[in-house]
């Protein structure tokens, strides 16, 4: 009887440790699904450690329908090659945010270009930033990842944590697009701006000289676009 109780205790302890370990890892997100995010760290997920192979600051601004600038900032477009897996981690974050009119906040952030690549997603709480997304949605095509920050909205001067999209890609190009969605009241009006020419997983590597050169041509799209 004592042996059985001891065995049960060991199994229970092992199951609890396994659960805790799996909960701390990034969440696999398949096309057409939405999952909750809670944040992770390098200590709990060593696959996040690696060499930064792209780290580009991309400025943006969002205007309302009158052309008034309501929010400005930078997206830090970072790509890391995991030391453990050799695959790429796409880790952008929203930073340097200001709201010139005194009232505006980021409610969601979108990344395009993931297509058929696998995505294990979370955000890093042991890096820079202070606000993480509540959840992430992957559309049915698999290409688009949309992070929702409601109710933990990013209100300037707060900044976002680095997102962590672990993929099975070993190469990237600049065919992606970021979109930042902003509100300046609690009504139905949502304003957005898009950034093209950002990093996305690829089956064909792009020479470093090309993406460094191309980063100078990243433009703003849809400034002041209004969505109901």
The domain of 38 spans 2-227
Per-residue pLDDT, 205: 66
Per-residue pLDDT, 204: 77
Token digits of residue 211: 């993406």
- Strands (DSSP E) contained in the chain are 27-28, 33-36, 50-63, 69-82, 88-90, 93-98, 105-112, 119-124, 135-138, 144-148, 162-167, 171-183, 190-202, 220-227
pTM of the model: 0.80
Per-residue pLDDT, 208: 54
Per-residue pLDDT, 27: 83
Per-residue pLDDT, 206: 59
Count of structural domains, the chain: 1
State whether residue 189 is helix, strand or coil. Answer: coil
Instruction: List, run by run, the mean pLDDT of 10-residue segments along the chain (228 residues).
Output: 42 39 65 96 93 98 94 98 97 97 95 96 96 97 97 96 97 97 85 98 69 43 43
Q: Residue 44: which of 118, 119, 125 has the closest Cα?
A: 125
Q: Residue 45: which of 207, 134, 164, 156 has the closest Cα?
A: 164
State the Cα–Cα distance between residues 118 and 89, nearest whole angstrom: 11
């Amino acid at each position: 009887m004592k042996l059985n109780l001891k065995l049960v205790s060991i199994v229970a302890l092992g199951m609890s440790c396994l659960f805790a370990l799996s909960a701390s890892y990034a969440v696999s997100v398949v096309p057409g699904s939405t999952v909750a995010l809670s944040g992770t760290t390098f200590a709990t997920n060593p696959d996040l450690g690696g060499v930064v192979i792209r780290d580009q600051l991309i400025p943006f601004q969002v205007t309302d329908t009158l052309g008034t600038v309501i929010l400005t900032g930078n997206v830090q477009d970072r790509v890391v090659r995991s030391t453990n897996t050799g695959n790429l981690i796409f880790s952008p974050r929203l930073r340097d945010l200001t709201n010139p009119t005194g009232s505006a906040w980021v409610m969601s952030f979108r990344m395009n270009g993931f297509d058929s690549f696998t995505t294990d997603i979370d955000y890093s709480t042991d890096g820079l930033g202070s606000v993480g997304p509540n959840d992430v949605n992957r559309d049915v095509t698999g290409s688009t990842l949309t992070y929702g920050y409601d109710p933990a909205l990013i209100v300037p001067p707060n900044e976002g944590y680095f997102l962590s999209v672990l993929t099975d890609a070993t190469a990237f190009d600049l065919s992606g697009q970021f979109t930042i969605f902003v509100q300046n009241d609690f009504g139905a009006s949502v304003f957005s701006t898009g950034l093209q020419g950002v990093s996305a997983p690829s089956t064909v590597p792009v020479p470093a000289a090309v993406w460094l050169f191309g980063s100078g041509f990243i433009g703003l799209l849809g400034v002041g676009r209004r969505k109901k």
